[in-house]
Amino acid sequence: MDTETDGRVGPAVGRALDADVTGVATLDGGMVGGVHRVDLADGRTVAAKTGATPLTVEARMLDYLGDRGLAVPDVVYASDALLVLEFVAGDGAGKASGGLAPGAARDAARRLAALHDHTAERYGFPFDTLSGAYHQPNPRTDSWVDFFREHRLRHVARAARDEGTLPPGLFDRVAALCSRLGDHIPDDPPASLLHGDVWANNLMVDGGEVAAFLDPACSYGHAEVDLAYCSFVGFDRSFFEAYDRERGVEPGFRDGRCAVYRLLPELEHVRHFDADRYRRAVDATLSAVGY
């Protein structure tokens, strides 16, 4: 337990909600900031997040997803420095080592497929969002190739190169792929609503079902971007088979586009963690798609 942080979070939540706090405990998670369980004298329990990123952006994303039927925690209070959410309990029964147990994976697939049925006329989002700690630009764009090239691959690769986590040689290979991206992905797939960061730690599982999706990185784009992220984090065939039954997976995803789209989370992880294993993953993916 971080007693210093806990000691600050309790009073901050009490002031925000005009409530008496009876207990604060640090929770697992919170790669970007801290997450705490806060018990209130009126019997409520909430989750409080703190961090350096503007948490109002996360609140807006959660509200947006919730309004469109995805299971997310209700936002109780939001400022740039403090986000208070409905506390969603999970029993962990649907979690497996490194991922989701089959029942929870199938439920996650069904819910994600339903989210992807929400579409927009253009790619992007009503506002810029966050992916972890980093700004995620979402200008409305007519071409999916243009959007994914400029506002995802090039945006993240340039930032990682400039920050020193992506070597120039790898950056040049990403740039070469970007110059021919239209050879690998479609230009006008349906602009589906994406969660953007689906992995086991961003799912609260209770009774083998997904009680809530957490920590989104929203935009409208090709649904396969979410599927490629799920592949990157190790979701197994039970997830993909369930998604295929619900919504279908287009031919060419598994043996082609998945690798191209996986490059995005690989680059993001290079930037976040500055780890050789993610640089090796970027190298392997670029080699697999011919760059």
Per annotation, catalytic residue among 39, 197, 215, 226: 197
CB-based contact 77:16 (threshold 8 Å): yes
Three state DSSP letters for the chain: CCHHHHHHHHHHHHHHHCCCEEEEEECCCCCCCEEEEEEECCCCEEEEEECCCCHHHHHHHHHHHHHCCCCCCCEEEECCCEEEEECCCCCCCCEECCEECHHHHHHHHHHHHHHHCCEECCEECCCCEEECCEEECCCCECCHHHHHHHHHHHHHHHHHHHHCCCCHHHHHHHHHHHHCHHHCCCCCCCEEEECCCCCHHHEEEECCEEEEECCCCCEEECCHHHHHHHHHCCCCHHHHHHHHHHCCCCCCHHHHHHHHHHHHHHHHHHHHHCCHHHHHHHHHHHHHCCC
Say if residues 239 and 109 touch (Cβ distance below 8 Å): yes
Residue 197 a catalytic site member = yes
Q: What amino acid positions are annotated as catalytic residues?
A: 197
